[in-house]
Amino acid sequence: MKALLKQKEFSVLAIVIIICVILSFVSPVFLTVGNWMDILEGNTVIGILAIGMTLIIITSDIDVSVAALTTAVAVSIGFMFQYLPDSWFSVVLIFLIAPLIGMLLGAFNGILVSKIQIPAIVVTLGTLNIFSGLVLYFTNGNYINSTQFPQSFMAFSNIEILGIPILIYLFALVAVSTWFILKYTLIGRSVLAIGGNAQSSTRVGINFKKVKMFVFTYMGFLGGVAAIAQTSYTTAVDPNGLMGLELTVIAAVVLGGANIHGGRGSIPGTLLGVLLLAIMQNGMILARIDTFWQNVVTGAIIVIAVSYDEINHRRNQAKLANIDVKEAS
Amino acid sequence: MRKLWLSLVVVLGLILAAGCVSEESAGSGGDEEADGAEETDNTSEEGNTEEAESDDELEIAVVPKLVGIPYFNASETGAEQAGEDLGVNVEYTGPTEADAAAQVKVIEDLISQDVDAIAVAPNDPASVEPVLKKAKENDIHVMDWDTPADKELVDLSVKQVDDEEFGRHMAEKLVEAMGTEEGEIAILTGGLSAANLNSWIDAAQSELDENYPDIEIVSDKIPTDEKQQVAYQKTLDLLKSYPDLKGVLAVSTPAPLGAAQAVQEKGLQDEVSVVGSALPTDSEPFLEDGSLDTAVLWNPEQLGYLTVALGKMLAEGEMPEDGQEIEGVGEITVEDDGKTVIMAPPQDYTKENASEFDF
Amino acid sequence: MTNIKLSKESVLGLIALAIFVGLSLFTPGFLSSGNINSMMFQLPEFGLIALGMMVVIITGGIDLSITYIAAFSGVGAALMMTNGFGIFPAIIVGIIFALACGAFNGVVVSKIGVPPILVTLGTMVLFEGVILAITNGNAISGFPDAYSLIGNGYYLGIVPFSLVIFFVFTIITGLLLNKSTWGRRVYMYGSNDLATLFSGVKNSKVLMKVYLYASLLAAVSAIIMTSRYNSVKVDLGSSYLLQSVAAAVLGGTNIHGGYGKVMGTIYAVLIFQFIRNGLNLMGVHSSLVDVVIGAILIAVLTLNFFSDKLSRQKAKAAS
């Protein structure tokens, strides 16, 4: 099992290491603590969303509404900030309300996917249009900047423990608890089982609809958390700021070895996928790559990574047949 | 098979229905061309009577590059204010993304609504050419604002500032903020394919080349996807990658905010100067502590106001003159070609004056 | 079996018709000749991309790079024309550019076997990057006048020429999918790729052609767009990407593959066109137009679900 697990994330890990080695030769700043803090903090939002997306992709669905959902929550936060008093209580309240709003929106996706059985990509395409359309209609795209934020929230976003920004702790907390849920709880195991083989898992008594409902609601919950992270990272709410981020999130998850056909995918893999995209972004300027070629490099690396992963995966499949469920865990 | 036929019949029905109507229009269009002057006289007369009936309410359409960003919201406010003041009906509408194809559709729909004048801020000047021609064929006055369209085509071109002057002005402001005429600087841009941003950057670069040869631009202009957090991350990377960086020129409205945020967080307000094009309310938090030195822009509300005011003049058959005083805007400059109107010189927003503006 | 039951597509056609009639009655100017005319000009470019997307979706895949293929192809044609070549060589080069992209997608999907969504996610960024590197982000414009007739001219003085092109490709797509061996294999592959393979079909060949065909449609759309807008830029038609997926699935195409009809997609494209245009004419805020489109997408599929359920119950009761 252990060896297998390593195999699965091996390809992306290898690519991450290769790029790291190259970058540390090219740029002396790359391997500094400060740079890594920046990378991690800067990718907290993508990371949190990617973790939620991993569960959805494991159950062979997809959610393209995540960025719109997160923006909707962020805008609600910005709206509430105008009425909240300046005290630590406001921060706690935001941490309760934001995930709740996210869960409601996510549950809306979940109901349509599980009860009405509309394919997830269609549902979320629809809700992507609905969420972002409504957000733009109500905000008119206007920024809400930090002058309207309670000072306590600003203080929260500047907290550093042991020199590490609070957002990185938040990211780590989400990663570890989701990993725990997947590994040690009934519902988490059901997610993996359904991804492995939907039919046989329902035969052994797993409630298919409930699991679908769970993954989308959980995505919404994490969208709410990501909205807090985003707001505290940019210290402003920009209704257009996350536009198009859903594709980056999906790219990170699949780069991390999650299979869009379900069953395959893990939290460590996704984290590596996020890291790969992050260091590529970071490295472009550090390596002083010509602006106009940056997308060519990024695209090429994605194609190479997914092809390499697929070839690797096939080789393993050939060696070990019928490992669907076991492999995913 | 039966289903297939049924489907075919429905579609043919639709196409035929559409086809019949277009045949009529093609016919009447032909007449118009054939009868030439007479026909146009007729239409303009018709136009006049219609206007008289509807209480002289001219309909002026203002099309931004996209709706739902602060900059174009501010110009919407101005345009609508002008509509109230001047008694014209203002339709402010545009696509939700800065996409040329989507913008053309909006303009086509406006032509169908038979407005009196269309002012467009083209996402891609060449791509609106055909549709603007079509508007003119339908006796709609055509003008551009914010970003110029094809000069031959428009009746009037409203520019907020002179591009060359604006770019050079930003470069000067940056050098001024740096307090030195040598050192490394970087340039951030909203997107690599934005024509107006490119022309400002080109102007800024030539200003630096000509007058400040000891200033070195460290990399090609860096795109930030019109997003604050991208500009923030790129600036963080720049600061690490070029530790001697003295200044950042951030062009596009979210970019200076992101750049300033990075400078603010790293506490480099005194080492690194940031100058860029941003709205004063958004930049206030950064102007206060000096992480953003100067935001240079124009008054977008006034720009919207001016566009509508000039649109009204145009629809009434007047042309603006150089040095003319437009109420609510001020004195305008008209270039030698007689149809390029420049609103005002660039405005600087600094710590001292930023709070006086509400856009 | 014997009674005339309306297929999913016909229901959608009736919905399109109803929307058309409704908007004609309630929106002044919707039925004006000018407006009908401009809708006919707007339809083809989006319709072609939606058809291309549909063919890919029938195989259970998706092509996220399709709009960048179109832009790339437009850039190819534009470069030829601005360098003094004639219209025909330019169009040919445009098509070749697109086919090259399609072939790249096809090879990675069919030979290496990477899921299409991943491949095209990567190639989307890749093609965008290549276009940026070629054009430096600038627009290329200034085509011969004759070229602009493709997108702006009339056939026989009545029908927009681009609509005729669209019509022709609609029929070709329909024929290819329903009458050719390749078409049948596309559906077979979409419903069960393994079974198709075991019945002696070369899956990789079928798939390869699917991506080539989608890129061909993208190229045709690109030629119409560049001609209509007289220019090409890296984001040419980028707003059509998710819309085309939405149109295909609204048209009844099964996102998991195996089912999808040309007519359904056409009706969906018409519905989108009518609604966008009608709401714009009514002066509805453009963000709300997106909301309405999203809501319709979900509403129609919810309706489908309940009507399916109903007919299944009936079938059960009957048996």
Average pLDDT over residues B214-225: 85
Please tell me the distance in Å from B221's CA to the nearest CA on chain A: 7
Give me the CATH code for the B163-297 domain, please. Answer: 3.40.50.2300
- CATH 3.40.50.2300 maps onto chain B at 57-160+300-344, 163-297
Please tell me the distance in Å from B229's CA to the nearest CA on chain A: 6
pLDDT level of residue A319 (50, 70, 90 thresholds): low
pLDDT of residue C170: 93
Nearest beta carbon to residue A133 from set C118, C133, C294: C294
Task: Give the percent of chain B with pLDDT over 90.
Answer: 9
Give me the CATH code for the C33-305 domain, please. Answer: 1.10.3470
Q: What is the mean pLDDT of chain B?
A: 79
Instruction: Assess A185–C contact: CB distance below 8 Å, yes or no.
Output: no
Nearest beta carbon to residue C298 from set A64, A118, A254: A118
Beta bridge partners of B156: B143
At C175-217, the pLDDT tens digits run 999 888 888 888 988 888 778 788 777 888 889 999 999 999 9
Instruction: Assess B108–A contact: CB distance below 8 Å, yes or no.
Output: no
| Partner-chain contact C37 B13, CB within 8 Å | no
Lowest average pLDDT, out of A122-136, B24-38, B80-94, C12-26, goes to B24-38
Please tell me the distance in Å from B71's CA to the nearest CA on chain A: 9
Please tell me the distance in Å from B331's CA to the nearest CA on chain A: 30
Lowest average pLDDT, out of A278-282, C174-178, C215-219, C313-317, goes to C313-317
pLDDT of residue A46: 92
Instruction: Assess B28–C contact: CB distance below 8 Å, yes or no.
Output: yes
At A136-192, the pLDDT tens digits run 888 877 777 777 788 888 878 778 888 888 899 999 999 999 999 988 888 888 888
**SS3 assignment for chain C:** CCCCCCCHHHHHHHHHHHHHHHHHHHCCCCCCHHHHHHHHHHHHHHHHHHHHHHHHHHCCCCCCCHHHHHHHHHHHHHHHHHCCCCHHHHHHHHHHHHHHHHHHHHHHHHHHCCCHHHHHHHHHHHHHHHHHHHHCCCCEECCCHHHHHHHHCEECCCEEHHHHHHHHHHHHHHHHHHHCHHHHHHHHHHHCHHHHHHCCCCHHHHHHHHHHHHHHHHHHHHHHHHHHHCEECCCCCCCHHHHHHHHHHHCCCCCCCCCCCHHHHHHHHHHHHHHHHHHHHCCCCHHHHHHHHHHHHHHHHHHHHHHHHHHHHHHHHHC
Task: Give the percent of chain C with pLDDT over 70.
Answer: 98
Using alpha carbons only, give the angle C27, C29, C33 rounded to the nearest 5 degrees: 135
Interatomic CA distance for residues B310 and C135, integer angstroms: 36
At C132-142, the pLDDT tens digits run 888 877 788 87
3-state class of A226 per DSSP?
Answer: helix
Nearest beta carbon to residue C31 from set B21, B91, B104: B21
pLDDT level of residue A321 (50, 70, 90 thresholds): low
pLDDT of residue A90: 82
pLDDT at B66 over 90: no
pLDDT of residue C6: 67
**Domain map (residue ranges) of chain C:** 33-305
pLDDT of residue C220: 93
* Cβ pairs B/C, distance under 8 A: 171
| Partner-chain contact B69 A141, CB within 8 Å | yes
Interatomic CA distance for residues C295 and C289, integer angstroms: 10
Instruction: Assess B69–A contact: CB distance below 8 Å, yes or no.
Output: yes
Kindly list the residues from chain C whose CB atom is less than 8 angstroms away from the CB atom of residue A133: 287-291, 294
Instruction: Assess B126–C contact: CB distance below 8 Å, yes or no.
Output: yes
Kindly list the residues from chain B whose CB atom is less than 8 angstroms away from the CB atom of residue A29: 240-241
Torsion of CA A72, A76, A78, A82, to 10 degrees: 160
Instruction: Assess A26–C contact: CB distance below 8 Å, yes or no.
Output: no
Nearest beta carbon to residue A29 from set B223, B225, B240: B240
Most confident option among A275-279, B100-104, B263-267, C95-99: C95-99
pLDDT at B29 over 70: no
User: Which element (helix H / strand E) includes A249?
Assistant: helix A245-255
Instruction: Assess B223–A contact: CB distance below 8 Å, yes or no.
Output: yes
Nearest beta carbon to residue C288 from set A128, A137, A259: A137
Please tell me the distance in Å from B289's CA to the nearest CA on chain A: 13
Round the CA-based radius of gyration of chain B to a whole number and report it.
24
pLDDT level of residue B1 (50, 70, 90 thresholds): very low
Is C128:C116 a contact under the CB 8 Å cutoff?
no
pLDDT of residue A228: 92
pTM of the model: 0.80
Most confident option among B335-344, C49-58, C151-160: C49-58
| Partner-chain contact C302 A116, CB within 8 Å | yes
| Partner-chain contact C235 B114, CB within 8 Å | no
Please tell me the distance in Å from B112's CA to the nearest CA on chain C: 5
Question: Which residue of chain C is at minimal alpha-carbon distance from B223?
Answer: C137
Beta bridge partners of B273: B247
Question: Which residue of chain B is at minimal alpha-carbon distance from A37?
Answer: B236
Interatomic CA distance for residues C261 and C268, integer angstroms: 11
Question: Which residue of chain A is at minimal alpha-carbon distance from C244?
Answer: A125
Q: Enter the DSSP assignment of A164.
A: E
Hey, how many other C-beta atoms are within 10 angstroms of the C-beta on C313?
Answer: 10
**Complex ipTM value:** 0.79
Average pLDDT over residues C118-138: 86
Question: Which residue of chain B is at minimal alpha-carbon distance from A284?
Answer: B237
| Partner-chain contact C34 B21, CB within 8 Å | no
Instruction: Assess B267–A contact: CB distance below 8 Å, yes or no.
Output: no
pLDDT of residue C251: 87
Instruction: Assess A312–C contact: CB distance below 8 Å, yes or no.
Output: no
Fold of the B57-160+300-344 domain: Rossmann fold (3.40.50)
Q: Compute CA distances C50 → A327, C80, C200, whole Å.
A: 37, 27, 30
Q: Which of C241, C276, C297, C309 to mutate to test the interface with A (most CBs of A within 10 A)?
A: C297
Average pLDDT over residues A1-13: 61
Round the CA-based radius of gyration of chain A to a whole number and report it.
20
At A94-127, the pLDDT tens digits run 899 999 999 999 999 999 888 888 888 888 888 9
At A119-136, the pLDDT tens digits run 888 888 889 889 988 888
Q: Specify the higher pLDDT residue, A256 or A222.
A: A222
| Partner-chain contact B95 C286, CB within 8 Å | yes
Instruction: Assess B281–A contact: CB distance below 8 Å, yes or no.
Output: yes
Please tell me the distance in Å from B265's CA to the nearest CA on chain C: 31
Pick the CATH number of A2-328 from 3.30.160, 1.10.3470, 2.60.120, 1.20.120: 1.10.3470
| Partner-chain contact C229 B126, CB within 8 Å | yes
Kindly list the residues from chain A whose CB atom is less than 8 angstroms away from the CB atom of residue B240: 29, 32, 34-35, 38, 286
pLDDT level of residue B56 (50, 70, 90 thresholds): low
pLDDT at B159 over 70: yes
Interatomic CA distance for residues A112 and A118, integer angstroms: 6
pLDDT level of residue C309 (50, 70, 90 thresholds): confident
Please tell me the distance in Å from B26's CA to the nearest CA on chain C: 6
| Partner-chain contact B228 A238, CB within 8 Å | yes
**Domain map (residue ranges) of chain A:** 2-328
pLDDT of residue B188: 92
